[in-house]
């Protein structure tokens, strides 16, 4: 939970964690409070499923807030307009130079709040989240509840499906897992060791 807000400057907040850790809920909570403070708020999410241009960000607990689907980071910069607060959900799926865009928005005085997965289903850092966390004034890392044993969980376990890094899904496709219960795919340790997953995998 974040109880501080910037005064008179822009800044960047990152909310990260595994699936089901409450990132979208926390993003919605902060954005609602900004609205209560009469701030001008705009929310973006990646256009992975682009049936409508305008759509909600929705948490697993069915909280929702209207948002704008974008295809790239550049579109966020173009459409942020005069908003004082810019929220971005599922940041790990937004293509382009998101780091450069949010840096410019924050430098121009906007409060930028980003939510996204810090690691993929193999437990490998999910770009550009690591760089965004370094750029941020405030980073919040949330834990889920391990679906298997109930312990605090920081990993996203893929239950079914292939080996594509991006595979949109929810309950049924993924589970939150703790360190003990997480079962990484066979080859991920080897690939991480070779550093191959960090460039263009």
Q: Do residues 60 and 180 touch, judged by C-beta distance below 8 A?
A: no
Site size toward Mg ion, by CB under 5 A: 2
- Establish whether 78 is a catalytic residue: no
Instruction: Order across the sheet with 41-46: list the strands.
Output: 54-58, 64-70, 41-46, 85-88, 111-117, 11-17, 138-142
Q: Please say which residue, 60 or 148, places its beta carbon nearer to Zn ion.
A: 148
- Which residues are at the interface with Zn ion (CB under 5 A)? 146, 148-149, 151, 178, 181
Residue 181 interacts with, from ligand ADP, Mg ion, Zn ion, none (CB under 5-8 Å by kind): Zn ion
Q: Please say which residue, 61 or 107, places its beta carbon nearer to ligand ADP.
A: 61
Residue 25 interacts with, from Zn ion, Mg ion, ligand ADP, none (CB under 5-8 Å by kind): ligand ADP
Catalytic residue among 90, 127, 175, 183: 90
- With contacts defined by CB under 6 A, name the span among 38-46, 80-88, 144-152, 177-185 that binds ligand ADP: 144-152
Considering the complex, what minimum distance in angstroms separates the CB of residue 179 from ligand ADP? 15
Site size toward ligand ADP, by CB under 6 A: 15
Does the footprint of ligand ADP cover residue 177 (CB under 6 A)? no
Strand 174-177 and strand 155-158: pairing? antiparallel
Phi-psi label, residue 161: left if phi above 0, alpha if psi -120 to 50, beta otherwise: left
Considering the complex, what minimum distance in angstroms separates the CB of residue 170 from ligand ADP? 8
Q: Which residues within the stretch 46-65 sit at the binding site for ligand ADP (CB under 6 A)?
A: 59-61
Q: Which residues within the stretch 16-45 sit at the binding site for Mg ion (CB under 5 A)?
A: 23-24
Binding residues for ligand ADP, rule: CB under 6 A, are: 17, 19-25, 59-61, 144-145, 147, 176
Binding residues for Mg ion, rule: CB under 5 A, are: 23-24
């Amino acid at each position: 939970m974040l109880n501080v807000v910037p005064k008179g400057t822009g800044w960047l907040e990152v909310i990260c964690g595994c699936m089901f850790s409450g990132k979208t809920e926390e993003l919605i909570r902060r954005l609602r409070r900004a609205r209560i403070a009469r701030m001008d708020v705009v929310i973006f999410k990646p256009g992975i499923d682009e049936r409508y241009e305008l759509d909600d960000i929705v948490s697993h607990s069915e909280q929702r807030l209207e948002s704008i689907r974008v295809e790239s980071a550049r579109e966020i910069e173009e459409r942020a307009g005069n908003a004082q607060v810019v929220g971005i959900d599922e940041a790990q799926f937004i293509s382009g130079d998101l780091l450069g865009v949010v840096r410019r928005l924050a430098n121009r005085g906007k409060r930028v709040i980003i939510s996204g997965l810090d690691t993929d289903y193999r437990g490998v850092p999910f770009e550009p989240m690591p760089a965004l966390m370094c750029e941020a004034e405030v980073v919040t890392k949330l834990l889920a509840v391990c679906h298997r044993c109930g312990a605090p969980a920081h990993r996203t376990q893929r239950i079914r499906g292939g080996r594509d890094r991006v595979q949109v899904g929810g309950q049924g496709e993924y589970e939150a897992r703790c360190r003990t219960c997480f079962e990484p795919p066979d080859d991920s340790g080897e690939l991480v060791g070779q550093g191959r997953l960090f460039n263009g995998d």
